Structure 1
Amino acid sequence: MFENVYEECLFYELKKTGLKVEKQKILPIIYEELRIENAYRIDLIIEDKLIIEIKTVDFINDVHKAQLLTYLKMTNCKLGLLLNFRTDVFKDGVKRVVNGL
């Protein structure tokens, strides 16, 4: 399936728990007087503390980790999870990324 399907289902399940969950949160980039509104888009952010980035790729590589680390730094969040749904065993597709711990 596509990433957006997993994102929607995970968002639905997390909302049922009562947690504050945002999906597709936009992060702008500001360079001098230039503001780029849609520079980055976070898949899911929970309680303004945990970022979840969803992938459906053959394997997680350094670019995916760098993407999530950038989101963590820009939001001052400490913890992020990369969830890759294209694995034989789901736990093999879960990667933890931390910001400054």
Structure 2
Amino acid sequence: MNLIAEYNKQFERQKQIIGVAMKVYNKYHGGLLESAYECAMKYLLELDGYKVEEQKELPMYWDDVLLDKTYKMDLVVDDNIIIELKAVKFISDDHRKQLRNYMNLTHTPWGMLINFSHDRVYSEWYKRDESGIEQVHLM
């Protein structure tokens, strides 16, 4: 697949996922717990044909030793997009760092941070490659 076709395919997926987030927000509005938005997002994304894992465990290692700490990623879509959901007033750099760390630890190429705040839904897209992680889209 050429780069333009790959970019267009990913852009279409981004639009679809953002559309699902907006649909969830329009139904529930702000003020619910993150888990409410998470289960609605999972349901609607699966209806759209995506493979979605909810609260996917991310074990921690020290070299080859499995540690007693496991993180949980909110949603993993088609094994290559991590969606980190928030229901807070403002997204902070700590929220962004959390998503970036998940992307680095799992070598996942795409990440999305979605905030279901009291007055709107907000999203940020990130891409990971050999040179690092960069923000590619805000909405």
Aligned to 2:116: 85
Q: Does 1:29 align with 2:60?
A: yes
Q: Deviations over 1:16-54 (max 9, x none)?
A: 122111110001011256423542100001111111000
Q: Does the 8 A contact of 1:52 with 1:82 survive in 2?
A: yes
* 50-59 or 29-38: bigger deviation: 29-38
Decide which structure has greater helix share. 2
Letter of the 1:98 counterpart: K
Letter of the 2:124 counterpart: K
Unaligned runs of 5+ in 2: 1-31, 134-139
Alignment size in residue pairs = 99
Q: Does 1:60 align with 2:91?
A: yes
**Mapping for residues 7-46 of structure 1, pairs under 5 Å:** 7-32=38-63, 34-36=65-67, 38-46=69-77
Unaligned runs of 5+ in 1: none
Among 74, 97, 100, the residue aligned to 2:105: 74
Deviation at 1:98, TM superposition (A): 2.5
Task: Supply the distance in 2 between the matched residues of 1:77 and 1:34 (Cα, whole angstroms).
Answer: 22
Task: Supply the distance in 2 between the matched residues of 1:24 and 1:87 (Cα, whole angstroms).
Answer: 23
Q: Does the 8 A contact of 1:27 with 1:37 survive in 2?
A: no
Runs of 4+ in 1 over 6 A off after TM superposition: none
Q: Does the 8 A contact of 1:81 with 1:94 survive in 2?
A: yes
Aligned to 1:4: 35
Letter of the 2:82 counterpart: I
Letter of the 2:123 counterpart: V
